[in-house]
Amino acid sequence: MRPTAILPFLLPAALLAAGGLPAEQAARRAAPAVARAEQLRVYNDVLTQLVEQRWNDRYLGPDEPRIQQARSKAHFHGADTTGLQREINRLRLLLRRHPERQGTVCLLADFRPVLPEWAYFEGEGGLTPFGGTLRAMLQAVAGGATRAALDSLRTGPPQLRASELLLPTARVQPAPAPRSGANYDWYLQGCSIGMVSVSRLVFNAAQTKCLLAYNFYCGGKCGQGELLVVEKRGGHWIIVAAQQCWES
């Protein structure tokens, strides 16, 4: 396990910053009310980008090793990637046209906080580049309501169903129910891409930007958690900033 700064997935999900607002109150104060349809648009747009751009090439299934090898070769030899991107686009189109070939992302019902408590920012975290980056990202969206935004992001999962997530190149299904003694391999049997849990969304007043945190698990020593800043551009929600909070 190689954390960036902390091990947030080990922290109790219900724990809030010391002296912070109650969970529901923090969630209400952190952002204006946003239509359910718009929230689902954010989750779908962001998860599509995570699947296709940030979780290696696991969604490509049997073509993943070949594409990863080509990426490595291009990186180390400075080769032109035009042909590689053309091949990736071809494979994506194939997945869109043949959903039966798509891999599966399993949506976890619970969410363990990716971000540290507020006390971290008032202590040693306020002096580190990691803490400074996280706080700047929170402020960029929440402004003066930074602490309320943090509490909301740390407060449990959203009311989100796998059936509401319609990705173009991957299927989403509920993660297996917890089972005593089961290891990661058992949980991942039907989750070829991996398992993900997501936080609530925190929007700015204009509803043009929002914050989202997630955990992604792809094995006993495979996974990561990030805080994302997402911005609405041309009717789509685009990841414009990301800070890794843990990695395995």
pLDDT(122) > 80: yes
**Residue 4 predicted with pLDDT over 90:** no
Distance between the two ends of the chain, CA-based, in angstroms? 5
User: Other C-beta atoms within 10 Å of 119: how many?
Assistant: 13
pLDDT at 190 over 60: yes
Among residues 246, 202, 17, 13, the alpha carbon closest in space to that of 112 is found at 13
Q: What pLDDT, on a 0 to 100 scale, did the predictor assign at position 182?
A: 76
* The two three-digit tokens of residue 169, written as one number: 């190149």
φ, ψ for residue 183 (rounded to 5)?
-105, 180
Residue 46 makes CB contacts below 8 A (sequence gap 6+) with 212, 228, 230, 237, 239
Q: What is this structure's pTM?
A: 0.84
Mean pLDDT of the chain: 86
Helix (H, G, I), strand (E, B) or coil at 166: coil
Ranges of each domain in the chain: 19-56+102-247
Asked whether the predicted pLDDT for residue 28 surpasses 70, the reply is: no
Residue 123 has pLDDT above 50, yes or no: yes
